[in-house]
Every structure is written in structure tokens, then in C-alpha cells.
Amino acid sequence: MRGRELLGACFALFAALLVWPLLSIPNRLLLVAGLPVLVLYLFLVWTAIVAVLWWAARASPGDEPP
């Protein structure tokens, strides 16, 4: 049950990071290393989603054979 709660919390967190009010914060006319801040924000959120889901899949004890 812990895995489902973790994935539900991750879904809620990452969904909140990708809604418009929070996306408007990095949507500025500013370049960092030649890239817009919004692009960097989306890439970092995407990287965090992949890393957390990878970690959750590796930490899941229910997939090991008996």
C-alpha cells in the first residue's frame, strides 16, 4: 500500500508543478546559458519525474520473486 500512496503523492506534486499558475513564474524573458528559464524549468521537472519514478520502482519490494 505504501507504493500506491507514494505514487499518488508524486502524481499530485508533479501535477501541481505543471499547472499554469506555477508555470507563469519561470515564464520570463530571461536566458540562462542561452535557454529560456521556462525550458529549463520544464526540463528539471521532467528530470525529477523520471528520477522519482525510477527510485519508486527500484524501492518497490512487491516485485521480487518469493
- What pLDDT, in 10s, does the model give residues 3-35? 788 888 889 999 999 999 989 999 988 999 999
What is the per-residue pLDDT for 64?
Answer: 53
Q: Which long-range contacts (CB under 8 A, 24 or more apart) does 50-57 make?
A: 52/10, 52/14, 53/7, 53/10, 56/3, 56/6, 56/7, 56/10
The whole-model pTM stands at 0.77
Q: Is-contact 47 54, C-beta < 8 A? A: no
Closest residue by Cα to residue 51 from 26, 24, 8, 14: 14
H or E segment and range at residue 32: strand 31-32
